[in-house]
Structure 1
């Protein structure tokens, strides 16, 4: 009996090794040669826009990099920006079959090879073990009794997994939803940065006006001429400073070994040497970039109220920077993420034993192996998707967005007015300032001070009644009576023979109490 047990044990071990080798060979054969296993070429990371076509044709990915997994190494190649052709392909009718055919090339599933292989190995072991302890069918279709009768079969009731399925689904849904909200929030912040960057440079180009810089109004008889070269230089400085903030924040949220060299190169090419070196040497580069934006705004000639309006947009940059740092530095509570991973892994590793009885019609229950592997691939893939979205900045095209901001800001700074317009006038004095038609000389409005308000005296006693010629039908109308400090002042004189204007009874002037 001992010798037979030893023979059966060695036979079982041989079958397990054979099954593992066969599965590994089948898995490698199913995955065709793809870009990940080709010699690297020049990456396109630093180009302005990484389109889906460039991503599909890139061979820069190297999964054999030291201490870098396939999923982590491939994140930089997911920074796609869609164009018209990409959206057309995205909506095409063959997307279902195309995406099914691309499963072997999917970065998500390639990163799950170890997990799926573990579930497939357990499924194979379940088939082999239960075949030895419960009977099996040979290749000729002949059924054989159990080889080992002293050991039980490894099976579990499927109802256990049915009960746990709903709870596990809720865990995955909540985690995926929260991770997507983090990705969506990060993208909205960078979208807001694009809008505010354009707005700051637009206001600087439109409000560049040396006539209202100090006094807030146009001096009488003085004509100002704008030095266009000086204007272009100052607006160019503002545009480059605004770009430097987005580029510094992109570097702030990107690994140093990936972007530091390119960041220093870009900054030195676009900024003045002194400004570039100060930005590179700063500990918190986005803060330094905001300081440079403030200096560029202060150097623009315009009224201080307009500078305040531009500063409100710059304040949004601080909110964007802080929001990105909050997302980057604070993950979803680790206890939630770890519990989800533990529950999912335990569920999938024990699932083959619960599905054993469902494949009695297949040869030696062999259908269990691919079925459990597919379920594991898709369910592990859901958790992998959530994990990839939880830290969104390494998959967002931050450098492409910052370059887009630079192009748009440079274009806005190059705009010049093609018609002569009268500068807006401001005044902070209590007396209102008005430019009248008679005071305009050579297109420059003069400042005309309003007359001092005249003191409204108490009206003398008037007649109690006066004769009025009313419209048809005739109606007698009594003259207004005055009591206390109230008085009606008629600046145009009596209107005995003139019909009363519409709504005139609602307008009265009240003198201040003594």
Structure 2
């Protein structure tokens, strides 16, 4: 994700990074050449203009389709951010309760390490690749290899977090009730992970995407016929402007419908994971310093 200040209007106006011009530039070029050819044919060979009424009606319907597409994609993007906000909160709650209730520093440090590893494991699940972060160096290599070899690294890490809590109970350091209460945070992490996986594995319906793109292509291809008699050679820049607007809106929907990738407009999962690690690094030393 690209950080920016929305108050600086002109500063970002001509930036290419983070925009969609590079993605849609080729398509705009095709429509521009098409409009050039039709305008030349109309002006020098034979008139081919049609009434603009049909395009006016089709444009209204197309606008509604694009609005729905963008809203649906942003809902997925914002839900993904809320789910990761939940991951941040539950990791804090888990370690906060563990620091107060588990007296053994060795178990607490192991639980903290697995908790810091968890968001990296979740990122690995959502992207299909990735390491387990710097905190992995604090954990046994054999267990890390089993996590990496598992089909779902997030669940594998969560199981080890629960195993640490079970060990604390077996040692008599915490009661069954305390174990259950702290483990509820682990359960919520799995719930949030399930929400993220739902977004990744459930794209927008294929029929909707196909119909929108077909309608978009036909609309822009037919636009020069409706404009050429009135605009002449100005038809070309008008078609380019309309294509840039409509194709850009559709491409933005594509960019943000899966917010867990590595593109410029996706969520900064590495930064969020690193932030979780810094927060937990501040919580755990409280036990070692005798604050709790």
TM-score by length of 1: 0.53
> Which of 21, 30, 46 is residue 109 of structure 1 equivalent to?
21
Q: Deviations over 1:234-288 (max 9, x none)?
A: 21101111122211110111143xx3xxx16746524222321221221221111
Q: Residue 512 of structure 1 aligns with which residue? A: none
Q: Deviations over 1:45-95 (max 9, x none)?
A: xxxxxxxxxxxxxxxxxxxxxxxxxxxxxxxxxx34x4xxx4xx3323xx1
Q: Is the 8 Å Cα contact of residues 41 and 47 (structure 2) preserved in structure 1?
A: yes
- Distance in 1 between residues matched to 2:289 and 2:142, nearest whole Å: 34
Q: Is the 8 Å Cα contact of residues 241 and 296 (structure 1) preserved in structure 2?
A: no
Alignment CA distance shift 1:106-1:358 (3 Å): farther
Q: Residue 232 of structure 1 aligns with which residue? A: 105
Alignment CA distance shift 1:105-1:124 (3 Å): farther
Gaps of 5+ in 1: 1-78, 134-151, 210-230, 360-364, 422-514
> Which of 350, 364, 387 is residue 254 of structure 2 equivalent to?
387
Q: Residue 271 of structure 2 aligns with which residue? A: 400
Higher deviation after alignment, 383-392 or 267-276:
267-276
Matched, 1:349 2:218: no
Give the root-mean-square deviation of aligned CA atoms. Answer: 2.1
Query: Per-residue deviation at 1:417?
Result: 8.6
Q: Residue 311 of structure 1 aligns with which residue? A: 183
Q: Deviations over 1:17-70 (max 9, x none)?
A: xxxxxxxxxxxxxxxxxxxxxxxxxxxxxxxxxxxxxxxxxxxxxxxxxxxxxx
Say which structure is richer in helix.
2
Q: Residue 140 of structure 2 aligns with which residue? A: 272
Q: Residue 100 of structure 2 aligns with which residue? A: 206
Query: Per-residue deviation at 1:180?
Result: 0.6
Gaps of 5+ in 2: none
Q: Residue 149 of structure 2 aligns with which residue? A: 281
Query: Per-residue deviation at 1:419?
Result: 7.9
Q: Aligned residues, how many?
A: 284
Alignment CA distance shift 1:314-1:339 (3 Å): same
Q: Residue 339 of structure 1 aligns with which residue? A: 211
- Distance in 2 between residues matched to 1:355 and 1:339, nearest whole Å: 24
Q: Residue 90 of structure 2 aligns with which residue? A: 196
TM-score by length of 2: 0.90
Q: Deviations over 1:308-359 (max 9, x none)?
A: 1111111101111211111111111110111111111110111111111221
- Distance in 1 between residues matched to 2:271 and 2:18, nearest whole Å: 24
Q: Residue 434 of structure 1 aligns with which residue? A: none
Q: Residue 192 of structure 2 aligns with which residue? A: 320
Query: Per-residue deviation at 1:420?
Result: 8.9
Query: Per-residue deviation at 1:397?
Result: 1.4
